[in-house]
Structure 1
């Protein structure tokens, strides 16, 4: 496989007059987790369908593992595994039978060792021969991902894989995803849970109204949003007033004896600020660093994009 597991350039897809994907570009290094975020209707599932050969793009190029999805479809399909938004398990079969079905479809021989290994990995041994109709939602999602791993795909597409799972089941899925990446698998993840992207993704792209409005690591995206600050608690009112004079732009709360100071949390400048307070004998009781999270990033980027579109429509009228 090439160093780039997924390469997308100028991807465009329309349905009639509706533009679903408007010339998007991104690259996913092999052995990494790439997360695509966006509100409902942004085009995430359409992107996954194009990348997994289920839908043909109107324009642009997509290469998976170095192979063009339009001209080397069979080769691309041999490299990938897909876990959709809903668990694709046959409820009339057991977990073992579902896995055997996938092994048969992929002409995997012998398959017994692979199936046993997957049942053990996903903690499904005790329920392996029970009908999956009796499984909990978390067990079905684990089986669904186990079925995706039959054949050991190099690139896995997870389309909102933890939707509807309880926190414990979700964290179990996170652990499995991390193990897969540690083994060299590339993960393309779409999710509605921003904490999930923050915890797992090496890089994140935000898709809104068919356009990529931002890309970067979680930390890079967080730095794009203003609002990072220090929260200082001071030992007395006079010290609080002095600290407010020393730190321009700060906001004090006399009742709580707290001071909010705009700050990016960079260690060197933080140390300089604390030293300055100490030099003036200010009684600092405690401090904490507050930075924007992915929720702030998501809301800022998507709201801004919607506002810009409305402004452009108003000008066009």
Structure 2
């Protein structure tokens, strides 16, 4: 019996592969495979972010829970057995008996949460205002861009300190410690929205003159629908690059605020808080209390920043 012919595959020029299969065959993934720096940065970032997310499972204790701390285990050097309990700690312990390995994992978790949430907050504000400025133009554009210009003339850390200080003055003292996390996210987010607004505004000015936007206007689409459904997807490339780079900057900014004493409290330390606590013991010989949080912050920020730099170069058509 003759073999039955296989059904013909439609040849209509439409790529019916999955999004993941198309990504594996894209120029972006080829550039990623060709860049050792990007691959190493990606692996380091994923490992550190994964370790922070899995902190409750892979840590030896919850450093935020005073009931799990033992003062007899305080000031234990890394890799040595405690003289009272005989337990050893890979990163040592601080004066409260807090395992620095667990503290670094939980501190990285807090720093990543503040960094990611503040980037999402600032990107949302900046993209929305940038779309409005670029599409509507006129006085709306003038007001938004002048405010952005004024904000960009000040360092982000000063704006964050101002926002944080004003908010702390409004919130009752009894509620300030519980609201610190949200205050940090809002303060850092409000200090970084202008970069997104300027970038999106420039891209929107280019996109709104194209034929697909003119066609949407002809069929009666509202300006909000045109901005959100038609222009926004085409201006997200630069936003992704800025967000990746700003994630590292936001983590450093949070660490700076915590180091200055206006960030996370010692009961819920971020990496910046751990560094602030550790520097008090640096010259007395307990170097590990400062060293491990500081190195974690440096490696995390460097890996994310290098990944963002590669992504910026890979998505820049002028460098292709």
Give the TM-score taking structure 1 as reference length: 0.23
In the superposition, the TM-score normalised over structure 2's length comes to 0.22
If each structure's helix is expressed as a fraction of its own residues, which one has the higher value?
2
> Which structure carries more strand by proportion?
1
